[in-house]
A and B are shown apart, each in its own frame.
Chain A
Protein backbone atom coordinates (compact mmCIF):
# COMPACT_ATOMS: atom_id res chain seq x y z
CA UNK A 1 0.00 0.00 0.00
CA UNK A 2 1.40 3.35 -0.97
CA UNK A 3 0.60 6.33 1.13
CA UNK A 4 -1.61 8.89 -0.42
CA UNK A 5 0.02 12.09 -1.42
CA UNK A 6 -2.82 14.11 -0.08
CA UNK A 7 -3.96 14.60 3.42
CA UNK A 8 -2.36 15.98 6.49
CA UNK A 9 0.58 14.62 8.30
CA UNK A 10 -0.72 16.18 11.45
CA UNK A 11 -1.99 13.72 13.98
CA UNK A 12 -5.67 13.29 13.81
CA UNK A 13 -7.51 12.09 16.80
CA UNK A 14 -11.12 12.56 16.01
CA UNK A 15 -13.42 13.14 18.90
CA UNK A 16 -15.58 10.25 17.80
CA UNK A 17 -12.72 7.83 18.03
CA UNK A 18 -12.69 5.91 21.28
CA UNK A 19 -9.55 6.84 23.12
CA UNK A 20 -9.10 3.22 24.04
CA UNK A 21 -9.39 2.02 20.47
CA UNK A 22 -6.34 -0.13 20.71
CA UNK A 23 -6.96 -2.93 18.31
CA UNK A 24 -4.53 -3.32 15.50
CA UNK A 25 -6.57 -3.41 12.33
CA UNK A 26 -6.26 -6.26 9.92
CA UNK A 27 -3.57 -5.22 7.49
CA UNK A 28 -2.48 -6.68 4.23
CA UNK A 29 1.14 -7.63 3.78
CA UNK A 30 2.41 -4.34 2.30
CA UNK A 31 0.65 -2.43 5.05
CA UNK A 32 2.15 -4.66 7.71
CA UNK A 33 5.56 -4.07 6.21
CA UNK A 34 5.03 -0.35 6.23
CA UNK A 35 3.88 -0.40 9.83
CA UNK A 36 7.01 -2.36 10.70
CA UNK A 37 9.16 0.22 8.94
CA UNK A 38 7.50 3.03 10.83
CA UNK A 39 7.85 1.15 14.08
CA UNK A 40 11.53 0.42 13.71
CA UNK A 41 12.32 3.91 12.56
CA UNK A 42 10.34 5.84 15.15
CA UNK A 43 9.53 3.68 18.16
CA UNK A 44 12.27 5.18 20.29
CA UNK A 45 11.37 8.78 19.60
CA UNK A 46 7.73 8.07 20.35
CA UNK A 47 8.67 6.38 23.62
CA UNK A 48 10.94 9.25 24.63
CA UNK A 49 8.29 11.87 23.95
CA UNK A 50 5.87 10.01 26.19
CA UNK A 51 8.52 9.85 28.90
CA UNK A 52 9.21 13.57 28.64
CA UNK A 53 5.53 14.22 29.08
CA UNK A 54 5.74 12.65 32.49
CA UNK A 55 4.62 9.09 31.80
CA UNK A 56 6.46 6.42 33.72
CA UNK A 57 8.12 3.60 31.82
CA UNK A 58 5.09 1.31 31.98
CA UNK A 59 2.65 3.95 30.77
CA UNK A 60 5.12 5.10 28.14
CA UNK A 61 5.30 1.54 26.84
CA UNK A 62 1.53 1.32 26.64
CA UNK A 63 1.29 4.78 25.13
CA UNK A 64 3.86 3.98 22.47
CA UNK A 65 1.85 0.95 21.45
CA UNK A 66 -1.25 3.11 21.21
CA UNK A 67 0.56 5.55 18.95
CA UNK A 68 1.41 2.77 16.53
CA UNK A 69 -2.08 1.31 16.68
CA UNK A 70 -3.34 4.74 15.61
CA UNK A 71 -0.71 4.76 12.90
CA UNK A 72 -1.86 1.33 11.74
CA UNK A 73 -5.38 2.65 11.38
CA UNK A 74 -4.22 5.73 9.49
CA UNK A 75 -1.54 4.23 7.32
CA UNK A 76 -3.18 5.49 4.16
CA UNK A 77 -3.13 9.04 5.54
CA UNK A 78 0.50 9.09 6.54
CA UNK A 79 2.61 10.68 3.90
CA UNK A 80 5.99 9.05 3.70
CA UNK A 81 8.18 12.07 4.32
CA UNK A 82 5.89 13.37 7.04
CA UNK A 83 5.63 10.16 9.00
CA UNK A 84 7.75 11.40 11.86
CA UNK A 85 5.60 14.49 12.21
CA UNK A 86 2.51 12.31 12.33
CA UNK A 87 3.93 9.95 14.92
CA UNK A 88 5.48 12.57 17.16
CA UNK A 89 2.35 14.67 17.07
CA UNK A 90 0.27 11.62 17.88
CA UNK A 91 2.63 10.82 20.73
CA UNK A 92 2.09 14.29 22.18
CA UNK A 93 -1.67 13.82 21.91
CA UNK A 94 -1.59 10.38 23.48
CA UNK A 95 0.62 11.62 26.30
CA UNK A 96 -1.76 14.47 27.03
CA UNK A 97 -4.73 12.14 26.92
CA UNK A 98 -3.14 9.58 29.23
CA UNK A 99 -2.26 12.26 31.73
CA UNK A 100 -5.72 13.72 31.54
CA UNK A 101 -7.48 10.39 31.88
CA UNK A 102 -5.44 9.12 34.71
CA UNK A 103 -4.99 12.48 36.35
CA UNK A 104 -1.36 11.76 36.10
CA UNK A 105 0.85 14.50 37.38
CA UNK A 106 4.08 15.18 35.66
CA UNK A 107 6.92 13.27 37.18
CA UNK A 108 8.44 15.25 40.00
CA UNK A 109 5.95 18.08 39.88
CA UNK A 110 6.58 18.28 43.59
CA UNK A 111 10.19 19.11 44.29
CA UNK A 112 11.81 16.23 46.10
CA UNK A 113 12.94 16.72 49.64
CA UNK A 114 16.53 16.44 48.62
CA UNK A 115 16.92 18.32 45.41
CA UNK A 116 19.98 16.81 43.79
CA UNK A 117 22.77 19.26 43.48
CA UNK A 118 24.00 19.84 39.98
CA UNK A 119 27.43 18.54 40.84
CA UNK A 120 25.83 15.36 42.03
CA UNK A 121 24.05 14.71 38.78
CA UNK A 122 26.40 11.94 38.06
CA UNK A 123 24.39 9.98 35.59
CA UNK A 124 21.80 10.42 32.94
CA UNK A 125 19.00 9.06 35.03
CA UNK A 126 19.36 11.83 37.56
CA UNK A 127 19.67 14.39 34.81
CA UNK A 128 16.49 13.13 33.23
CA UNK A 129 14.71 13.27 36.55
CA UNK A 130 15.68 16.90 36.97
CA UNK A 131 14.71 17.68 33.38
CA UNK A 132 11.36 15.95 33.78
CA UNK A 133 10.65 17.88 36.93
CA UNK A 134 11.35 21.13 35.14
CA UNK A 135 9.38 20.10 32.07
CA UNK A 136 6.51 19.17 34.35
CA UNK A 137 6.42 22.72 35.64
CA UNK A 138 6.43 24.31 32.21
CA UNK A 139 3.45 25.32 30.14
CA UNK A 140 2.36 22.31 28.15
CA UNK A 141 2.64 24.07 24.80
CA UNK A 142 6.18 25.17 25.54
CA UNK A 143 7.17 21.74 26.72
CA UNK A 144 5.89 20.12 23.53
CA UNK A 145 7.95 22.39 21.31
CA UNK A 146 11.03 22.10 23.49
CA UNK A 147 10.90 18.31 23.53
CA UNK A 148 10.36 17.99 19.80
CA UNK A 149 12.97 20.57 18.85
CA UNK A 150 15.73 20.25 21.41
CA UNK A 151 15.52 16.58 22.30
CA UNK A 152 14.18 14.96 19.17
CA UNK A 153 15.67 17.37 16.69
CA UNK A 154 12.62 18.07 14.60
CA UNK A 155 12.77 21.08 12.32
CA UNK A 156 10.33 23.92 12.90
CA UNK A 157 8.36 22.94 9.83
CA UNK A 158 8.04 19.38 11.08
CA UNK A 159 6.98 20.54 14.53
CA UNK A 160 4.39 22.82 12.97
CA UNK A 161 3.11 19.76 11.13
CA UNK A 162 3.13 17.60 14.22
CA UNK A 163 1.35 20.05 16.47
CA UNK A 164 -0.79 21.62 13.79
CA UNK A 165 0.35 25.14 14.55
CA UNK A 166 1.99 27.80 12.36
CA UNK A 167 5.74 27.72 11.98
CA UNK A 168 6.02 31.20 13.42
CA UNK A 169 4.29 30.01 16.55
CA UNK A 170 6.77 27.17 16.81
CA UNK A 171 9.63 29.65 16.67
CA UNK A 172 8.20 31.94 19.31
CA UNK A 173 7.26 29.07 21.62
CA UNK A 174 10.70 27.56 21.25
CA UNK A 175 12.33 30.85 22.18
CA UNK A 176 10.12 31.18 25.23
CA UNK A 177 10.63 27.54 26.15
CA UNK A 178 14.41 27.91 26.14
CA UNK A 179 14.21 31.07 28.22
CA UNK A 180 11.89 29.31 30.61
CA UNK A 181 14.15 26.27 30.87
CA UNK A 182 17.19 28.43 31.62
CA UNK A 183 15.32 30.51 34.17
CA UNK A 184 14.13 27.40 35.97
CA UNK A 185 17.62 25.95 35.95
CA UNK A 186 19.00 29.13 37.48
CA UNK A 187 16.40 28.97 40.21
CA UNK A 188 17.19 25.32 40.75
CA UNK A 189 20.87 26.08 41.12
CA UNK A 190 20.16 28.94 43.47
CA UNK A 191 18.10 26.62 45.65
CA UNK A 192 20.87 24.05 45.69
CA UNK A 193 23.45 26.70 46.56
CA UNK A 194 21.27 28.06 49.32
CA UNK A 195 20.82 24.60 50.76
CA UNK A 196 24.57 24.07 50.72
CA UNK A 197 25.12 27.28 52.61
CA UNK A 198 22.53 26.33 55.18
CA UNK A 199 24.01 22.88 55.58
CA UNK A 200 27.49 24.34 56.05
CA UNK A 201 26.13 26.78 58.63
CA UNK A 202 24.46 23.96 60.47
CA UNK A 203 27.69 22.07 60.64
CA UNK A 204 29.48 25.10 62.03
CA UNK A 205 26.92 25.42 64.77
CA UNK A 206 26.90 21.74 65.57
CA UNK A 207 30.34 20.38 64.88
Chain B
Protein backbone atom coordinates (compact mmCIF):
# COMPACT_ATOMS: atom_id res chain seq x y z
CA UNK B 1 0.00 0.00 0.00
CA UNK B 2 1.36 3.36 -0.91
CA UNK B 3 1.86 6.19 1.42
CA UNK B 4 -0.09 9.36 0.78
CA UNK B 5 3.14 11.03 -0.21
CA UNK B 6 3.65 8.49 -2.92
CA UNK B 7 0.17 9.22 -4.17
CA UNK B 8 1.01 12.91 -4.26
CA UNK B 9 4.02 12.19 -6.41
CA UNK B 10 2.08 9.91 -8.71
CA UNK B 11 -0.72 12.45 -9.09
CA UNK B 12 1.77 15.09 -10.05
CA UNK B 13 3.39 12.76 -12.58
CA UNK B 14 0.06 12.08 -14.20
CA UNK B 15 -0.84 15.75 -14.32
CA UNK B 16 2.55 16.61 -15.75
CA UNK B 17 2.07 14.03 -18.49
CA UNK B 18 -1.24 15.66 -19.34
CA UNK B 19 0.34 19.10 -19.44
CA UNK B 20 2.85 17.92 -21.98
CA UNK B 21 0.34 16.71 -24.52
CA UNK B 22 0.10 18.72 -27.70
CA UNK B 23 -1.77 18.33 -30.95
CA UNK B 24 0.21 17.12 -33.90
CA UNK B 25 1.66 19.54 -36.40
CA UNK B 26 -0.74 18.12 -38.96
CA UNK B 27 -3.75 18.73 -36.72
CA UNK B 28 -2.60 22.28 -36.15
CA UNK B 29 -2.14 22.88 -39.87
CA UNK B 30 -5.55 21.41 -40.66
CA UNK B 31 -7.15 23.68 -38.08
CA UNK B 32 -5.34 26.70 -39.48
CA UNK B 33 -6.42 25.84 -43.00
CA UNK B 34 -9.99 25.29 -41.89
CA UNK B 35 -10.21 28.52 -39.94
CA UNK B 36 -8.26 30.58 -42.43
CA UNK B 37 -5.76 31.40 -39.75
CA UNK B 38 -2.42 32.67 -40.91
CA UNK B 39 0.80 31.68 -39.23
CA UNK B 40 2.13 33.93 -36.51
CA UNK B 41 4.85 36.24 -37.59
CA UNK B 42 3.42 36.59 -41.05
CA UNK B 43 1.74 39.81 -40.18
CA UNK B 44 -1.60 38.12 -40.25
CA UNK B 45 -2.33 39.73 -43.54
CA UNK B 46 -4.14 38.17 -46.38
CA UNK B 47 -1.71 36.80 -48.89
CA UNK B 48 -1.56 39.05 -51.86
CA UNK B 49 0.27 36.84 -54.29
CA UNK B 50 -1.28 36.26 -57.66
CA UNK B 51 -0.54 32.59 -57.71
CA UNK B 52 2.17 32.79 -60.31
CA UNK B 53 4.63 31.61 -57.76
CA UNK B 54 2.53 28.80 -56.51
CA UNK B 55 5.11 26.19 -57.22
CA UNK B 56 6.78 26.96 -53.96
CA UNK B 57 5.59 28.70 -50.90
CA UNK B 58 8.35 31.22 -51.20
CA UNK B 59 7.61 31.92 -54.79
CA UNK B 60 4.83 34.38 -54.16
CA UNK B 61 5.22 37.74 -55.73
CA UNK B 62 3.68 39.81 -53.00
CA UNK B 63 6.01 41.00 -50.33
CA UNK B 64 3.51 40.17 -47.65
CA UNK B 65 3.07 36.69 -48.94
CA UNK B 66 6.75 36.12 -49.31
CA UNK B 67 7.44 37.26 -45.81
CA UNK B 68 4.62 35.20 -44.46
CA UNK B 69 5.70 32.19 -46.42
CA UNK B 70 9.24 32.43 -45.21
CA UNK B 71 8.14 32.68 -41.63
CA UNK B 72 5.69 29.88 -42.20
CA UNK B 73 8.34 27.68 -43.62
CA UNK B 74 10.75 28.50 -40.90
CA UNK B 75 8.21 27.91 -38.23
CA UNK B 76 6.78 24.74 -39.64
CA UNK B 77 10.05 23.27 -40.71
CA UNK B 78 11.33 23.55 -37.21
CA UNK B 79 8.09 22.46 -35.65
CA UNK B 80 9.49 19.81 -33.48
CA UNK B 81 12.76 21.44 -32.73
CA UNK B 82 11.12 24.14 -30.79
CA UNK B 83 8.76 24.48 -27.97
CA UNK B 84 7.02 27.68 -27.14
CA UNK B 85 8.29 28.98 -23.91
CA UNK B 86 5.57 29.59 -21.47
CA UNK B 87 5.40 33.34 -21.29
CA UNK B 88 3.02 34.38 -18.64
CA UNK B 89 1.31 31.04 -18.52
CA UNK B 90 0.49 29.84 -15.05
CA UNK B 91 1.69 26.40 -15.94
CA UNK B 92 4.78 26.05 -18.00
CA UNK B 93 4.70 22.82 -19.89
CA UNK B 94 7.90 22.07 -21.67
CA UNK B 95 7.12 18.77 -23.23
CA UNK B 96 9.58 15.99 -23.11
CA UNK B 97 9.85 13.73 -26.06
CA UNK B 98 7.02 11.33 -26.41
CA UNK B 99 5.48 9.27 -29.14
CA UNK B 100 2.86 11.14 -31.12
CA UNK B 101 -0.71 10.35 -30.46
CA UNK B 102 -2.46 8.91 -33.40
CA UNK B 103 -3.68 11.49 -35.82
CA UNK B 104 -4.75 9.13 -38.52
CA UNK B 105 -8.30 9.50 -39.59
CA UNK B 106 -10.70 6.67 -39.76
CA UNK B 107 -11.04 4.53 -42.81
CA UNK B 108 -13.57 6.92 -44.29
CA UNK B 109 -11.02 9.62 -44.60
CA UNK B 110 -9.91 10.97 -47.91
CA UNK B 111 -6.66 12.04 -46.42
CA UNK B 112 -3.62 9.87 -46.63
CA UNK B 113 -2.69 8.14 -43.46
CA UNK B 114 -0.08 10.07 -41.65
CA UNK B 115 3.32 8.66 -41.18
CA UNK B 116 3.93 7.62 -37.62
CA UNK B 117 6.69 10.09 -37.16
CA UNK B 118 5.06 13.45 -37.37
CA UNK B 119 7.01 16.63 -37.30
CA UNK B 120 5.69 17.29 -33.86
CA UNK B 121 7.10 14.10 -32.53
CA UNK B 122 10.69 15.02 -32.97
CA UNK B 123 12.66 15.32 -29.85
CA UNK B 124 12.97 19.00 -29.09
CA UNK B 125 16.34 18.64 -27.56
CA UNK B 126 18.02 16.60 -30.22
CA UNK B 127 19.17 19.38 -32.46
CA UNK B 128 18.63 22.73 -30.89
CA UNK B 129 18.17 22.34 -27.20
CA UNK B 130 18.32 26.04 -26.54
CA UNK B 131 16.19 27.08 -29.46
CA UNK B 132 13.73 29.85 -28.82
CA UNK B 133 10.05 29.60 -29.25
CA UNK B 134 8.57 28.59 -32.54
CA UNK B 135 5.43 30.34 -33.58
CA UNK B 136 4.02 27.18 -35.04
CA UNK B 137 5.52 24.63 -32.78
CA UNK B 138 3.31 22.81 -30.40
CA UNK B 139 2.50 25.53 -27.99
CA UNK B 140 2.08 25.31 -24.32
CA UNK B 141 -1.05 26.26 -22.52
CA UNK B 142 -2.21 29.78 -22.96
CA UNK B 143 1.03 30.85 -24.41
CA UNK B 144 1.25 33.72 -26.74
CA UNK B 145 3.89 32.87 -29.29
CA UNK B 146 7.09 34.62 -28.62
CA UNK B 147 9.98 35.52 -30.81
CA UNK B 148 8.07 36.02 -34.02
CA UNK B 149 10.99 37.60 -35.76
CA UNK B 150 13.39 34.95 -34.65
CA UNK B 151 12.04 32.38 -37.02
CA UNK B 152 14.49 33.11 -39.77
CA UNK B 153 17.43 32.16 -37.67
CA UNK B 154 16.10 28.66 -37.33
CA UNK B 155 15.11 27.94 -40.82
CA UNK B 156 16.47 24.53 -41.68
CA UNK B 157 19.58 24.53 -43.71
CA UNK B 158 19.08 23.83 -47.36
CA UNK B 159 20.56 20.56 -48.58
CA UNK B 160 24.01 20.91 -49.97
CA UNK B 161 25.98 18.81 -52.37
CA UNK B 162 27.75 17.28 -49.45
CA UNK B 163 24.46 16.13 -48.06
CA UNK B 164 23.80 13.93 -51.00
CA UNK B 165 27.28 12.95 -52.13
CA UNK B 166 27.69 9.19 -52.16
CA UNK B 167 30.83 9.20 -50.11
CA UNK B 168 29.25 11.04 -47.27
CA UNK B 169 28.68 8.90 -44.25
CA UNK B 170 25.02 8.63 -43.47
CA UNK B 171 23.93 10.91 -40.68
CA UNK B 172 23.08 9.39 -37.36
CA UNK B 173 19.44 8.35 -37.02
CA UNK B 174 18.53 11.37 -34.94
CA UNK B 175 19.91 13.75 -37.53
CA UNK B 176 18.20 11.89 -40.34
CA UNK B 177 14.95 12.06 -38.45
CA UNK B 178 15.37 15.77 -37.87
CA UNK B 179 16.03 16.31 -41.54
CA UNK B 180 13.00 14.27 -42.48
CA UNK B 181 10.80 16.16 -40.07
CA UNK B 182 12.13 19.45 -41.36
CA UNK B 183 11.14 18.42 -44.85
CA UNK B 184 7.70 17.52 -43.59
CA UNK B 185 7.49 20.91 -41.99
CA UNK B 186 8.50 22.51 -45.27
CA UNK B 187 5.86 20.59 -47.16
CA UNK B 188 3.19 21.44 -44.63
CA UNK B 189 4.06 25.10 -44.69
CA UNK B 190 4.04 25.24 -48.47
CA UNK B 191 0.72 23.47 -48.57
CA UNK B 192 -0.81 25.78 -46.02
CA UNK B 193 0.43 28.86 -47.86
CA UNK B 194 -1.03 27.66 -51.15
CA UNK B 195 -4.39 26.92 -49.63
CA UNK B 196 -4.50 30.26 -47.90
CA UNK B 197 -3.80 31.92 -51.22
CA UNK B 198 -6.67 30.08 -52.84
CA UNK B 199 -8.93 31.03 -49.96
CA UNK B 200 -7.91 34.66 -50.26
CA UNK B 201 -8.67 34.55 -53.96
CA UNK B 202 -12.09 33.10 -53.28
CA UNK B 203 -12.74 35.84 -50.74
CA UNK B 204 -12.27 38.39 -53.47
CA UNK B 205 -15.04 36.69 -55.44
CA UNK B 206 -12.73 35.14 -58.01
CA UNK B 207 -13.91 31.54 -57.81
CA UNK B 208 -12.25 30.58 -61.08
CA UNK B 209 -8.93 31.95 -59.92
CA UNK B 210 -9.30 30.08 -56.65
CA UNK B 211 -9.95 26.86 -58.55
CA UNK B 212 -6.79 27.38 -60.57
CA UNK B 213 -4.81 27.79 -57.39
CA UNK B 214 -6.42 24.66 -55.99
CA UNK B 215 -5.42 22.78 -59.13
CA UNK B 216 -1.87 23.92 -58.53
CA UNK B 217 -2.11 22.82 -54.92
CA UNK B 218 -3.32 19.38 -55.97
CA UNK B 219 -0.45 19.08 -58.45
CA UNK B 220 2.13 20.09 -55.89
CA UNK B 221 0.72 18.08 -53.01
CA UNK B 222 -1.07 15.04 -54.44
CA UNK B 223 -1.04 13.38 -51.03
CA UNK B 224 -1.09 16.52 -48.97
CA UNK B 225 -1.97 16.55 -45.31
CA UNK B 226 -4.49 19.27 -46.07
CA UNK B 227 -6.16 17.50 -48.96
CA UNK B 228 -9.51 17.33 -47.20
CA UNK B 229 -9.44 21.06 -46.52
CA UNK B 230 -8.48 21.63 -50.16
CA UNK B 231 -11.45 19.55 -51.25
CA UNK B 232 -13.81 21.57 -49.09
CA UNK B 233 -12.38 24.77 -50.47
CA UNK B 234 -12.83 23.43 -53.98
CA UNK B 235 -16.45 22.61 -53.24
CA UNK B 236 -16.95 26.12 -51.90
CA UNK B 237 -15.37 27.63 -55.03
CA UNK B 238 -17.45 25.45 -57.34
CA UNK B 239 -20.62 26.44 -55.52
CA UNK B 240 -19.59 30.07 -55.77
CA UNK B 241 -19.02 29.59 -59.49
CA UNK B 242 -22.46 28.07 -59.87
CA UNK B 243 -21.03 24.69 -60.88
CA UNK B 244 -23.25 22.68 -58.57
CA UNK B 245 -22.97 19.33 -60.35
CA UNK B 246 -19.22 19.42 -60.07
CA UNK B 247 -19.46 20.60 -56.48
CA UNK B 248 -21.63 17.61 -55.58
CA UNK B 249 -19.32 15.22 -57.33
CA UNK B 250 -16.25 16.60 -55.62
CA UNK B 251 -17.98 16.66 -52.25
CA UNK B 252 -19.24 13.11 -52.73
CA UNK B 253 -16.62 11.33 -50.63
CA UNK B 254 -17.10 13.77 -47.77
CA UNK B 255 -20.82 14.27 -47.35
CA UNK B 256 -21.48 10.97 -45.65
CA UNK B 257 -18.85 11.47 -43.02
CA UNK B 258 -20.23 11.85 -39.54
CA UNK B 259 -17.73 14.40 -38.41
CA UNK B 260 -17.04 18.08 -38.75
CA UNK B 261 -15.81 17.63 -42.31
CA UNK B 262 -19.03 15.92 -43.32
CA UNK B 263 -21.10 18.66 -41.73
CA UNK B 264 -19.14 21.33 -43.52
CA UNK B 265 -19.46 19.57 -46.87
CA UNK B 266 -23.22 19.20 -46.48
CA UNK B 267 -23.59 22.82 -45.48
CA UNK B 268 -21.58 24.03 -48.46
CA UNK B 269 -23.82 22.12 -50.84
CA UNK B 270 -26.91 23.51 -49.15
CA UNK B 271 -25.93 27.07 -49.83
Q: Which residues of A contact B (CB under 8 A)?
A: 20, 22-24, 26-27, 29, 32-33, 35-37, 39-45, 47-48, 51-52, 57-62, 64-66, 68-69, 72, 84, 118, 121, 123-125, 127-128, 130-131, 134, 147, 150-155, 178, 181-182, 185-186, 189-190, 193
Q: Is the interface of B mostly helix, strand, loop or mixed?
A: loop
Closest to A45 in B: B141
A127-B27 in contact given A22-B267, A40-B145 (Cβ < 8 Å): no
19 A-B pairs besides A64-B23, A186-B2, A189-B2 with CB distance below 8 A are A22-B267, A32-B44, A32-B46, A39-B37, A40-B139, A43-B139, A48-B22, A57-B27, A57-B103, A84-B142, A124-B16, A127-B14, A128-B17, A130-B14, A152-B142, A153-B89, A153-B91, A181-B11, A193-B1
> CA separation between A48 and B45, bound complex, in Å?
28
- Count chain B residues whose beta carbon lies closer than 8 angstroms to a beta carbon of A: 63
Residue pair A125, B264 in contact (C-beta under 8 Å): no
CB distance from B239 to the nearest CB of A (A): 13
A186: chain B residues at CB < 8 Å are 1-2, 4, 7
Interface string of B136-155 (1 = CB under 8 A from A): 10111111110000000000
Residue pair A44, B105 in contact (C-beta under 8 Å): no
A to B contact number (C-beta, < 8 Å): 179
Q: Which of B34, B144, B267 contacts A41 (CB 8 A)?
A: B144
A151: chain B residues at CB < 8 Å are 15, 18-19, 91, 141
Closest to B42 in A: A36
CB distance from A28 to the nearest CB of B (A): 10
A69: chain B residues at CB < 8 Å are 35
Residue pair A128, B21 in contact (C-beta under 8 Å): yes
Q: Does B125 touch A at the CB level, under 8 Å?
A: no
Residue pair A152, B91 in contact (C-beta under 8 Å): yes
Residue pair A40, B101 in contact (C-beta under 8 Å): no
Closest to B90 in A: A153
A29: chain B residues at CB < 8 Å are 44-46
B30: chain A residues at CB < 8 Å are 61, 65
Q: Does B98 touch A at the CB level, under 8 Å?
A: yes
Closest to B260 in A: A62
Q: Does B20 touch A at the CB level, under 8 Å?
A: yes
Closest to B102 in A: A57
Closest to A20 in B: B263
